[in-house]
Amino acid sequence: MAAVTRFEDLIAWNKARELAKEVHTACANGRAVHDYALTDQMRRASVSIVSNIAEGFERKNPSYFRQFLAYARGSCAELRAQLYLARDVGWLDESAFLRLSESATALGRLLGALRRSQTPSSNAPR
């Protein structure tokens, strides 16, 4: 298997990018547009996931990459918590909540697996 040389080639980064797009779309519809504080925080958390994966990868050091993957996973958990609140206050319906929550949960697992695969002696990223 060829080594990944760009963060854009990481499955986790692409999944995070898709999730961020879905979150931004959900936050722009219906009652969500009237809750600026929560929607802004949800957008920021989703952007943080994408950004931390890219930033950690570009540091070209497995230890830093692991650290930034942990940050990304934390932002993923933050987003999941905010999705519950969005559902609880009634601006995110159950089907949207389930879709986004399942995507965020799966992404968190993927980030955890990617983080575990990065040891100080590993070859990626370079």
Query: Which pTM value belongs to this model?
Result: 0.89
Range of the domain at 89: 7-117
pLDDT beyond 70 at 1: no
124 occurs within a structural domain? no
Q: Is residue 90 part of a domain?
A: yes
Residue from 67, 56, 28, 70 nearest 125 by CA:
56
Residue 69 contacts residue 104 (beta carbons within 8 Å)? no
Query: Has residue 103 been placed in a domain?
Result: yes
- Would 126 be classed as within a structural domain? no
Mean pLDDT of 63-84: 97
What single-letter amino acid sits at 96? A
pLDDT at 48: 98
Cβ-based neighbour number of residue 64 at 10 Å: 16
Does a structural domain hold residue 44? yes
Count structural domains, the chain.
1
Higher pLDDT, 73 or 28: 73
Q: Two tokens at 103?
A: 């995507």
CATH number for the domain that contains residue 49: 1.20.1440.60
* pLDDT reading at 32 higher than 90: no
Of 2 and 84, which is predicted with more confidence? Answer: 84
Angstrom CA distances, 19 to 44, 62, 107, 116, stand at: 12, 25, 9, 22
Residue-wise pLDDT tens digits, 48-62 = 999 999 999 999 999
**Alpha-carbon span 11 to 30, nearest angstrom:** 31
Structure tokens, 63: 């230890």
- 1 falls within a domain: no
